[in-house]
Amino acid sequence: MKIAVLGAGAVGLSIAARLSTLCDVYAVARQRHVSAIERGGLRLTGLWGDDLYHFPCGPDLPTDDYDYILITSKSIATRSICEEFGERFGDAEVVSIQNGIGNEEIIREFTPHVIGGMIITGFEWRGDADVHVSVIGGTANFGRFPEGMDEPVRRLAALFEEAGMGAEANPLIRSALWGKTLYNAALNPLGAIMNVPYGSLKEEHAWQIIQQVVKEGFAAATADGVTLEWKTAEEYLGHLADIQIPATAQHRSSMLQDISAGRVTEIDFINGAIVRIGKAHIIPMTVNTVICDLIHFRESMVKR
Predicted local confidence at residue 190, as pLDDT: 97
140 and 283 share a domain?
Answer: no
- The CATH code of the domain that includes 97 is 3.40.50.720
Closest CA to 165 of 233, 112, 208, 117: 117
The reported pLDDT for the residue numbered 122 is 86
Cα dist. 107→152, 209, 263 in Å?
Answer: 17, 33, 23
Contacts of 80 (CB under 8 A, 6+ apart): none
Looking at the structure, tell me whether residues 297 and 191 fall in a common domain: yes
Q: Which residues of the chain have pLDDT under 70?
A: 303-304
In the prediction, which pLDDT does 133 show?
94
Beta 93-97 vs 114-118: how paired, if at all? parallel
121 & 194 share domain? no
Domain end marker among 171, 194, 223: 171
Same-domain pairing of 166 and 180: no
Same domain, 129 and 193: no
Q: Are residues 206 and 118 in the same domain?
A: no
Task: Output the pLDDT for position 135.
Answer: 86
pLDDT score, position 303: 58
Residues 144 and 191 in one domain: no
- Which of 268, 237, 244, 246 lies closest to 255, judged by CA? 268
Q: What is the CATH number of the domain that holds 235?
A: 1.10.1040.10
Instruction: Pick the last residue of a domain from 171, 187, 205.
Output: 171
For residue 214, give Cα distances in angstroms to 18, 191, 265.
Answer: 33, 15, 20
Q: What local confidence, expressed as pLDDT, does residue 89 receive?
A: 97
| Same structural domain, 25 and 131 | yes
Q: In terms of domains, do 115 and 189 share one?
A: no
Decide which of 113, 144, 171 is a domain's last residue.
Answer: 171
- Determine the pLDDT at residue 301: 87
Domain match, 14 and 27 both? yes
Structural domain count, the chain: 2
Question: Are 128 and 256 in the same domain?
Answer: no
pLDDT at 136: 87
pLDDT at site 13: 98
Domain encompassing residue 116: 2-171
